[in-house]
Amino acid sequence: MSSVPESPGPGPRTEGAALPQPGAGTALAAQAPLTALRHLETGPRGLTEGEAEERLARHGENTPPAWHTPSLARRLVQRVREPFTAVLLLLGLVSAAIGSVGTALVILALVTVSCVLCAVGELRADRSVAGLRALVAGTVTVLRRRDTYAARPDERELPVADLVPGDVIRLGPGDLVPADVLLLSSTGLVVGQAQLTGESGPLGKCQASAGSGGTSTGDPGSAPPSGEPDTGTLFGEPHLCFQGSTVLSGGGRAVVLATGAETGLAAGHQHTRPRQSAFDRALHGTAWILVRFMLLTPPVVLAADAAVSGRGVAILPFAIAVAVSLTPEMLPVVVSAVLARGAASLAREREVIVRRLPALHDLGAMDVLCLDKTGTLTQDRPVLDRAVDTAGAPDAAVLRWAARNSLWTLQLAETPVADALDDALLHAATERYGLPCLEEEYEGVAVLPFDPVRRLSTAVLRASGRPGTHILVVKGAVEAVLERCVLAEPEREELRRSAARYAADGLRLLAVATAERPSRAGPHAYSSADEHGLSFRGLVALRDALAPAAPEVLRGLRDQGVGVRILTGDHPGTAARVCRELGLEPGAEGVLTADRIDGLGDRALAEAVGRVTVFARCTPRHKARVVAALRAAGHTTGFLGDGVNDLAALRSADVGLCPRDAVPTVRESADVVLGEPSFAAVEPAVTAGRHSSVTLTSYLRVALSSNLGNAVAMLAAALLFPFVPMLPAQVLAQNLFFDAAQLAFAFDRREPAELRRPAALRPGELLRFITGFGLLNAAADLATFGVLAWTVAEAATEAGQGLFHAGWFTENLLTQAMVMVLLRSGRGIGRRRPAGPVQLAAAVLAVVGIVLPLTPLGPALGMVTALTAASYALLALVLALYGAALVAARRRGGRAAG
């Protein structure tokens, strides 16, 4: 039934790549059918019941391997191994050992909350994805014999799970292929392998010859319906069908090569992510920088004190408190809360499942998105572009002849559903001329369905008022039809050149020809021998139908600063045409094909990917190389795929995305599973990721710059004064209040202007930021020390120390509140905005800093509140100058960033 479009250009189709880690059964694919049957210890009549039971016990059920998600306990252990978490636990143990039980308990509580938040969020996401898994098929027709002496096998309908290697099965229209099989016989068999290759085009299949070693013989046109020979790749082998494929038309008999975990569809279940994502690298890089500071702090404090005052081990609790103050204790909690809230919002509002919470940050940092065009930028169906005669002029009759072929092939072959090409022709003809116009003038008599050897289909029609004459309407690949037509060689060559021009423009071509024959009786009166001496009618050109939402989504991604790269196995002309229609420029170097990619080293490819938008004829290996090259060039890269052939690139990307209807192995390998419609969900997912990324970056800037300033100030005070500037209990209380206020970042709202460009967490930039603003904070603290030392009489006494502690406690919380407000924005400050959670939390923190020393809790913490009016006035001046310096420095940084 299926018609074969001409290939848009020479060369093998490479989209369908070798199966990932094929099982042992797939190795039999290269052998001749009889050899494969002997190897499997079976025959054309199938297995006996006893043999099948023994093999079922040996190989197990034919079901996809269970996807074992890590348990909650294992996820908690993984979180404890994170750098920050591990160091916090170490500091907690040291605190407990020296008697600072309160500090140890607080650290333990923070670690527990953060680990549980993150682990529970990821476990919930994995369970959501597990709910999307589907069985490959329900039942299958199997040939089984009762015993060895049974002459004929019985056809039985068995559950797919009971299938074993060596079973002989029957395939028919509408069936899902239940295992990896080798065809023993076939009639017009056409399958769809979109679930495996991501390509929607139908693929012709036929049995292997006895002596070919698994390769079809005869006409080299034993090619897929794209017209491109695909025998160079395993998915394209015409004699093999794979689990997860759909039988579109025709039927056949096949022997099972592999079941269960040995199938190509299941091979992708066993995997690990080969690289850290952008978020993992950034967070770990930042963590280890701070870890080094934290581990150095206690010995530095002890050494400095030994050189100045010689208090020895008595100052160790203070040294531990300084190290803890440098640590952003709330980092795991805030990170987990921000990412979990963003993931929950996407799941609730967009049906987007974030399986790995850090992937939300990677979405926000993503500046390049790689994707295939089929099913994403284009629909899974072609549409009519034009119908032309031999001279290239528009000719409606050509379309009508092609549609009649499709109509009567569909009806007489009793195919349950038309393939995409026939459906496109029928839709276009019906829309223009109406279905009665196709049915009334001619009546179908017989049909010769499409098969992959002939690469064409023929409908035999009877014309009204012309008894004794039948008309053969032949439709198929251009070359296959041309060689059966009566044409002069110059005319034939001119038609080939015309077809090549159309193909180079990205169009799929069908040739149409007719012939008159004396009428014959019976549906089997015609054969392929009649498909000669034809009159060439013209060409029908089809193009990929654009996905309705694709142009708008691409514009949105472009406005968000996300570049798009098209990685496809299609012909360069087809890919370039789609890009032009969508407003995407192929790039300065045009379309980069797989053979050119093979000629480039890794460094040269990393330079080229920045100048190229479209990569054509890509195998999975080429896709993975392009993604790796983009990452090597400094891009945070995402990949959107849905077929087994996308797994390598999916795992190479910083963040892997897939639609909800992707194959199970892809869904379980992806970081983000998109809802419906999948491509339209990318833009809101990126926006949610940017919100999380900007929020986390703001939090880290605020927390780390403030902590670094406090640590430097306390180290300086340990050298300047014979007493510690703040008691360990006061340090702990201050950290608790500041940490509690920072939880507001998990509920922060961001302005649209802050989300217009990728928001990556870059350790180098962050380190420069916190160093500059941390030293500014330390300068404010040192100025506070000067004010207190000048205004507090007898600072060396116990009462004077209490005044000193109260003054710095108040000033410290006020500066931290200012930092939360003034350093919250990613670029610049001073924009008027309604008070949000962070501003409200900063206000509460400031009130606590002023009021707490005046309450009974103040003396309990060792703070005395009897500062003079002059002290308060000078402290207010220090705060005002500090605020002005923050504003000036932040505005200067905003201009530099812009």
Q: Which residues pair with 541 in a beta bridge?
A: 386, 509
How far the first Cα of the chain sits from its last, in Å, is: 60
Closest C-alpha to 168, from 87, 290, 76, 48: 48
Please, which residues bridge with residue 202 across strands?
192
Taking the C-alpha atoms of residue 27 and residue 4, their distance in angstroms, rounded to an integer, is 30
Q: Report the C-alpha gap between 418 and 251 in whole angstroms.
A: 15
What are the E-state strand segments in 620-728? 637-640, 655-659, 672-674
Amino acid at 487: L
Task: Return d(Cα 697, Cα 469) in angstroms, integer.
Answer: 79
Please give the torsion angle defined by the CA atoms of residues 888, 889, 894 and 896, in that order, rounded to the nearest 10 degrees.
120
Kindly list the distances between the CA atom of residue 422 and the CA atoms of 211, 239, 399, 435, 510, in Å, as whole numbers in the listed order: 35, 24, 11, 14, 11
> Cα separation of 139 and 141, whole Å?
7
Strand 563-567's sheet: what is its strand order?
353-354, 672-674, 655-659, 637-640, 368-371, 563-567, 614-616, 592-593
| Catalytic status, residue 372 | yes
Bond prior to 165 in cis (omega within 30° of 0): no
Instruction: Report the amino acid identity of residue 571.
Output: H
Q: Which of 203, 145, 243, 180 is nearest to 28 (CA)?
A: 180
Return all residues near 203 (Cβ < 8 A) that are at least 6 apart.
190, 191, 192, 193, 224, 225, 226, 230, 236
Cα torsion through 19, 20, 21, 22, rounded to 10: -20
Q: Using CA of residue 46, residue 49, residue 51, residue 54, what is the dihedral sign?
A: positive
CA dist 478 and 512 (Å) reads 8
SS3 450: strand
Residue among 126, 230, 362, 372 flagged as catalytic? 372
CA of 229: how far to CAs of 7, 9, 188, 481, 492, in Å? 9, 11, 17, 17, 22
Residues 6+ apart with CB under 8 A from 82: 287, 332
Residues 6+ apart with CB under 8 A from 175: 137, 140, 246, 247
Are the C-beta atoms of 571 and 616 separated by less than 8 Å?
A: yes
| DSSP tag of 207 | P
Buried b (16+ CB within 10 A) or exposed e, 70-94: eeeeebbeebeebbbbebbeebbeb
Output the DSSP codes for 320-340. HHHHHHHS-TTHHHHHHHHHH
How far, in Å, CA of 342 to CA of 672, rounded?
13
The DSSP result for 24-86, as a single string, is: GGGGGGGS-HHHHHHHTT--TT-EEHHHHHHHHHHH--SSPPP--PPPHHHHHHHHHTSHHHH
Q: At what angle do helices 316-326 and 682-720 cross, to 10 degrees?
A: 150
Please give the Cα distance from 108 to 630 (Å, whole number).
41
* Angle at CA of residue 486, ends 480 and 489, nearest 5°: 85
Residues with Cβ within 8 Å of residue 25, at least 6 apart in sequence: 165, 180, 256, 257, 258, 259, 262, 263
What residues contact 368, with CB distance under 8 A and at least 6 apart? 562, 563, 564, 565, 630, 635, 636, 637, 638
- The residues that are catalytic are 372
